[in-house]
Structures are given as structure tokens and as C-alpha cells.
């Protein structure tokens, strides 16, 4: 495999951006099997969480080794604290991830632009982002992987606040900057942000729907939200939706295990 860190300018965001990119290599190394050369490689867009950046999947997992024999590329872009949406008070990150970034990367690297060859997955903020992007643009992504997240990542606020969950940016909360509200529950039904509304719109439009793989740890603070997300999709049989829960918390031990299971689900014949 070849690994590159790419710095490039985004017209949509109006700023310089970063992404780590893994490209298949036909030659094999010690303990790593190569893959067949292709003109254009399928690509997994792998998204980071709110406290991380574009380097984290490489630092906390062996993602390069996991995909070495699969013949797919992996693009791991930086998203900052954007929520992967068109921010209420900030740049249009959803437009960047669904329209501009794929074209930029396809210009730089031999990546397929076919829907059936493009998949989006992520953890926590990136898991909710993968749901949001994939359901907004089922014409771009054929499969979604959501780890340790759910629709909007709405949290149960009835108990004591969880340390470190709410991030502040100056005097305004992160949610106010991203969504225009400080309580994400108020966004339910909003087609700009609510994944259920996005999914209903895709069904109504008769679009080809992406497959969805969803996993959550039973000790994760987003478990209740993920279960509500599971219930919604299982009540809409139009979706090819797979849900898994297993012992685990909001940790890299869980994500390292489940990204491997996602890859086997995504490409079972590989």
C-alpha cells in the first residue's frame, strides 16, 4: 500500500485542507498482501470523530493493513468540529464532502467515481456524519458504516452531564456554531440535519438506497440514541440495514474491532 498526506485548497470551504490517502499497491511486503492493479479503485471515505483529525485512523488502528488485500483506496479527510454538515455559522462542509472532495481526490488519484464503488464510514461524530452524508447523497455513496453514533447524536440529558461531551468555542457552544441551536433534539424533523428526514426524502424520491452497517457498544454513552436509530430503520424495510451491539464503550478498542467487521460486511467476497 502507498500512504500519502495531501494538502490542498477547497473552494467550497475557502481554506487549506488535509487528508491522508491509502492507495493499493500490487506488490506484497512482509505480512502484507498486495492487490491487483486497477484503472480506478473503489474508495472508502473514512471519517474521524469530534476530538480527532485526519491522522487518527492510522494512529489508532491498522487500517492500511486491513485493506491491503481488498483492492480499495481509503481517504481520511480532516473535518474539524464541522459535524460533516453545512454549518449554521460556518463553511458548507456537507457540500465539500459530497461534491468537491470526491472530484479533487479523483483528479489526484485513480479513484472510481461510480456510486457502487464509493462507501462512507466513521466513528462518533464521523459515524453520524457518514449517516448524514450517505443519506443526503445516495447517488454518491452505495454503503454507510456508522460506529458509536446515531441520528444527530442526540443525547439523553435527563441525568448528570457527561464530562467532556459538550465542547465550547468561545462563548458559543459547538452545537450553536454547527447547527444554530444548543439542543440538537430541536433539529428532529429538519431535513438539513435529521437523518430520518433525509432517509424519508430519499424513499419518497425513489432513489436507490445505500446499505447501512451500524454498530454500538452496550456501555457507550450514545447507546440509547443508537437504539432509537436502529428502531427507526427497522421500521422502514426499504433499507438494507444491519445493526450490531456488543460489549464496549466509546473507545478505540471497539472501533478497531468493528471497522474490520464492517470491511468484511462491505466486501464479503474479498
* pLDDT tens per residue, range 36-78: 778 999 999 999 999 999 999 999 999 999 999 999 999 999 9
pLDDT in tens, 70-99: 999 999 999 999 999 999 999 999 999 999
C-alpha–C-alpha distance, residues 136 and 148, integer Å: 20
Residue 102 neighbours by CB under 8 Å, 6+ apart:
45, 111, 113, 118, 140
pLDDT in tens, 246-255: 999 999 999 9
Question: What end-to-end distance do the CA atoms of the chain give, in Å?
Answer: 16
pTM above 0.75, yes or no: yes
164 vs 7: which has the higher pLDDT? 7
Among residues of the chain, what percentage have pLDDT more than 90?
Answer: 83
Residue 63: alpha-carbon gap to chain centroid: 15
Amino acid at each position: 500500500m502507498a500512504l500519502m498526506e495531501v494538502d490542498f485548497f477547497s473552494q467550497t470551504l475557502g481554506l487549506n485542507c488535509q487528508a491522508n490517502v491509502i492507495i493499493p499497491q500490487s506488490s506484497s511486503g512482509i505480512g502484507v498482501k498486495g492487490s491487483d492493479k486497477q484503472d480506478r479503485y473503489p474508495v472508502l471515505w473514512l471519517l474521524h470523530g469530534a476530538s480527532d483529525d485526519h491522522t487518527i485512523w492510522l494512529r489508532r488502528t491498522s487500517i492500511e493493513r486491513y485493506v491491503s488485500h481488498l483492492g480499495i483506496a481509503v481517504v481520511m479527510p480532516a473535518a474539524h468540529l464541522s459535524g460533516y454538515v453545512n454549518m449554521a455559522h460556518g463553511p458548507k462542509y456537507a457540500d465539500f464532502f459530497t461534491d468537491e472532495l470526491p472530484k479533487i481526490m479523483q483528479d489526484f488519484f485513480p479513484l472510481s467515481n461510480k456510486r457502487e464503488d464509493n462507501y462512507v464510514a466513521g466513528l462518533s461524530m464521523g459515524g453520524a456524519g457518514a449517516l448524514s452524508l450517505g443519506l443526503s447523497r445516495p447517488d454518491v455513496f452505495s454503503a454507510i458504516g456508522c460506529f458509536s453514533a446515531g441520528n444527530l447524536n442526540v443525547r439523553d440529558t435527563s441525568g448528570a452531564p457527561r464530562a467532556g461531551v459538550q465542547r465550547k468555542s468561545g462563548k458559543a457552544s459547538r452545537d450553536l456554531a454547527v447547527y444554530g441551536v444548543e439542543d440538537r433534539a430541536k433539529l428532529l424533523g429538519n431535513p438539513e440535519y435529521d437523518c430520518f428526514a433525509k432517509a424519508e426524502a430519499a424513499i419518497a424520491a425513489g432513489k436507490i438506497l445505500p446499505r447501512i452497517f451500524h454498530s454500538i457498544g452496550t456501555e457507550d454513552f450514545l447507546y440509547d440514541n443508537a437504539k432509537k436509530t436502529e428502531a427507526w430503520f427497522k421500521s422502514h424495510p426499504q433499507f438494507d440495514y444491519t445493526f450490531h451491539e456488543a460489549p464496549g464503550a466509546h473507545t478505540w478498542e471497539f472501533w478497531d474491532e468493528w471497522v474490520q467487521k464492517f470491511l468484511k460486511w462491505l466486501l464479503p467476497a474479498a
